[in-house]
């Protein structure tokens, strides 16, 4: 029973990682850029949700939507200001810029509001716990999982059934050919950043509700873990990011349950090293070594 309880906890945590990982993987799939500022968009989302609840006095779902909208705009601004001028620059220039943007957001937030942490109000959604086969599942876990699944299904719908989704897949496959077919590549890339950032904003609000405490440097570790989740599933592959997030969450929960809770952050990076050694393309990626 304890094992099932930990699996439920792991899936709740993993769904947060999955939402952040989707942003990494979508951006990489289109512009081949690891957007290290993505974890800080997640942090901004958590604060937007917090201020929506405490200042505007809205509930969880309106706060979630406000945070997603603001983060989508924020993501597009980051792309237009920091990354668009470097579209044809070297990979390392874009990577260094991403790290610079990340630090700017973190310390800009500290400058504007101070470094003190905030606590999300408790009892935002009065859901009762349910018991299945002797395992008690909190209403919070159900809400987190339900919200994450809905957002992931919505993303799959956008990518596979809408005009912008088709444009995103075309640009991902071949940017030059997409231009020749009349696709506005710049708008498509901006839309990708908007969708990825909106999901990170949603993850920030969910994280705040789940862990209560939020602070300006909170995006660093979840951001890096979500990157590990994206690599685990196969970077650039959307179902891979979802699966990688859930797998990583479950691994962390099991490590904590085994009594090694101090190692839970380290385990994520051990997983990254093992994946890069044994399956560099990730679980869903086509392994280059197999072709040779």
The predicted structure's pLDDT at residue 129: 74
Report yes or no: 63 and 214 within 8 Å, Cβ to Cβ: no
Q: Which domains does the chain have, with CATH numbers?
A: 1-115+135-278 (1.10.3470)
> How open is the CA angle 79-85-88, to the nearest 5 degrees?
110
Report yes or no: 233 and 30 within 8 Å, Cβ to Cβ: no
The percentage of residues in the chain with a pLDDT greater than 90, rounded to a whole number, is 55
Report yes or no: 284 and 237 within 8 Å, Cβ to Cβ: yes
Q: Average the pLDDT over 155-178 and give the result.
A: 91
Report yes or no: 252 and 267 within 8 Å, Cβ to Cβ: yes
What would the two tokens of residue 119 be?
Answer: 């606590």
Report yes or no: 268 and 228 within 8 Å, Cβ to Cβ: yes
Cα–Cα separations (whole angstroms), residue 142 to 86, 134, 136, 188:
42, 16, 11, 34
The percentage of residues in the chain with a pLDDT greater than 70, rounded to a whole number, is 97
Q: Per-residue pLDDT tens for 183-201?
A: 999 999 999 999 999 999 9
pTM, two decimal places:
0.90
């Amino acid at each position: 029973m304890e094992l099932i309880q930990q699996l439920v906890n792991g899936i709740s945590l993993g769904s947060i990682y999955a939402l952040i990982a989707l942003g990494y993987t979508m951006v990489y799939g289109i512009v081949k850029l690891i957007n290290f500022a993505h974890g800080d968009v997640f942090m901004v989302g958590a604060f937007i949700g917090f201020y929506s609840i405490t200042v505007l006095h809205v509930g969880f779902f309106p706060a979630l939507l406000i945070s997603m909208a603001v983060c989508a705009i924020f993501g597009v601004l980051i792309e237009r200001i920091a990354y668009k001028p470097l579209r044809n620059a070297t990979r390392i220039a874009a990577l260094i810029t991403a790290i610079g943007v990340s630090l700017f957001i973190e310390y800009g937030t500290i400058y504007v509001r101070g470094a003190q942490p905030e606590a999300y109000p408790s009892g935002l959604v009065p859901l009762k716990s349910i018991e299945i086969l002797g395992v008690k599942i909190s209403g919070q876990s159900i809400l987190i999982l339900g919200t994450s699944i809905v957002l992931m299904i919505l993303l799959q719908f956008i990518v596979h059934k809408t005009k912008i989704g088709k444009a995103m897949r075309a640009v991902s496959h071949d940017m030059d050919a997409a231009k020749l077919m009349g696709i506005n590549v710049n708008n498509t890339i901006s839309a990708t950043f908007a969708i990825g950032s909106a999901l990170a904003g949603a993850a920030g609000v969910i994280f705040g509700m789940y862990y209560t405490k939020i602070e300006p440097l909170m995006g660093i570790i979840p951001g890096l873990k979500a990157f590990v989740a994206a690599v685990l599933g196969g970077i650039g592959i959307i179902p891979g990011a979802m699966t990688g997030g859930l797998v990583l969450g479950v691994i962390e929960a099991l490590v904590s349950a085994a009594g090694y809770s101090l190692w839970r952050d380290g385990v994520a990076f051990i997983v990254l090293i093992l994946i890069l050694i044994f399956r560099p393309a990730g679980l869903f990626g086509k392994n280059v070594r197999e072709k040779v």
